[in-house]
């Protein structure tokens, strides 16, 4: 699990809780923890996973302007 501690600046002031939460959210998102949890919430059969992957590839090709 991603952990974040409140930092103390050079001027002796502690970091605000809002800034620490913002850093934690960014760290969790960069580590891919949320996406991993969503992916493992339910089991997908290999055939369904393959269809979703193909659908996502078509969507990405269309977004790039390729056919």
The CB-side HSE value for 8 (13 A sphere, CA atoms) comes to 2
- Is the pLDDT at 46 greater than 70, yes or no? yes
**pLDDT band per the 50, 70, 90 thresholds, residue 47:** very high
Give the span between the Cα atoms of 67 and 55, in whole angstroms: 13
What are the Cα distances from residue 8, in Å, to 13, 24, 40, 66?
Answer: 6, 16, 37, 50
pLDDT of residue 56: 92
pTM of the predicted model, to two decimals? 0.48
Q: Which residue has the higher pLDDT, 64 or 50?
A: 50
Residues making up the chain, counted from first to last = 67
Stretch 46-64: mean pLDDT = 92
Stretch 23-42: mean pLDDT = 89
DSSP for residue 14? B
């Amino acid at each position: 699990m991603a952990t974040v501690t409140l930092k103390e600046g050079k001027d002796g002031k502690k970091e605000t809780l809002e800034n620490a939460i913002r850093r934690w959210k960014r760290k969790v998102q960069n580590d891919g923890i949320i996406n991993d949890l969503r992916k493992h919430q339910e089991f997908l059969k290999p055939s369904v996973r393959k269809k979703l992957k193909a659908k996502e590839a078509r969507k990405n090709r269309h977004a790039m302007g390729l056919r």
